[in-house]
């Protein structure tokens, strides 16, 4: 782990637990076992640390690779692959998501920076749906609405499991259904909506 990586890791943990203001550069340096001057030399400002954390630990690059190299043009298989990667990356970046939720309205420009990642994933999904339509594999529809519904569903699952209901099933848990079942069912809803065969059955 490089000095830069170490500082980022510590900064994310501190900002998630103490808030953006509470995670001072002095405290970040102390926990990372470096001088405060080293923190400034690597990132110049605390805001730059946060910006770097969001860009480095968010998910756009991985999804670009997925859509470029791993798509098989089977709607259910492809969407399950997208959903599983989404949940894996969101869990890996849980502290970054927590910071974004806590500090989005407190740090100027933070929401714009955070939102560019789901916006790009939405665009990748819309492009994929257009390609699937051109191959006559799905019906014509409002693909942006379908992409946003997909993102909202999976964001909701992640938020509920990570910050509301928790990972373990208890008496207070909203549902005892495993995460895999929820992901599969949400994908199946979209597959049914876009499938030519299912559309003909309804008509």
Digits of tens for pLDDT over the chain (203 positions)?
Answer: 799 999 999 999 999 999 999 999 999 999 999 999 999 999 999 989 988 888 877 778 899 999 999 999 999 999 999 999 999 999 888 888 888 888 888 888 888 888 888 999 999 999 999 999 999 999 999 999 999 999 999 998 888 877 765 555 454 566 677 889 999 999 999 999 999 876 455 44
3 within 8 A of 35, measured Cβ to Cβ: no
SS3 178: coil
Structural domains in the chain, CATH included, are 3-53 (1.10.10.60), 58-202 (1.10.357.10)
- State how far the Cα of 82 lies from the Cα of 65, in Å rounded to an integer: 11
Instruction: Report in angstroms the alpha-carbon separations of 181 from 113, 123, 177, 188.
Output: 32, 26, 7, 10
Q: Which residue, among 79, 88, 71, 59, has the nearest Cα to 185 in the 3D structure?
A: 79
Query: For residue 60, how many C-alpha atoms fall within 13 Å in the half-sphere facing its CB?
Result: 13
Q: How far apart are CA 152 and CA 139, in angstroms?
A: 22
Q: In angstroms, what CA-CA distances link 122 with 18, 116, 143, 144, 152?
A: 32, 10, 9, 7, 11
Q: 6 with 32: CB under 8 angstroms? A: yes
What is the pTM (predicted TM-score) of this model? 0.82
């Amino acid at each position: 782990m490089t000095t830069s990586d170490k500082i980022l890791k510590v900064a994310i943990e501190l900002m998630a637990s103490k808030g953006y203001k509470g995670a001072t550069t002095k405290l970040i340096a102390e926990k990372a076992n470096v001088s405060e001057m080293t923190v400034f030399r690597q990132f110049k400002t605390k805001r730059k640390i946060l910006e770097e954390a969001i860009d480095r630990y968010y998910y756009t690059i991985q999804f670009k690779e997925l859509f470029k190299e791993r798509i098989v043009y089977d709607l259910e298989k492809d969407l399950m692959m997208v959903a599983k990667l989404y949940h894996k990356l969101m869990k890996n970046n849980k502290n970054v998501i927590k910071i974004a939720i806590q500090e989005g309205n407190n740090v100027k420009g933070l929401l714009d920076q955070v939102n560019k990642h789901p916006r790009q994933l939405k665009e990748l999904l819309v492009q994929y749906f257009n390609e699937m339509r051109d191959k006559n594999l799905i019906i014509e529809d409002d693909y942006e609405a379908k992409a946003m519904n997909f993102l909202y569903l999976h964001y909701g699952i992640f938020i509920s499991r990570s910050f509301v209901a928790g990972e373990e099933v208890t008496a207070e848990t909203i549902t005892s259904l495993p995460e895999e079942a929820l992901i599969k069912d949400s994908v199946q809803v979209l597959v049914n909506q876009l499938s030519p065969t299912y559309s003909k059955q309804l008509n």
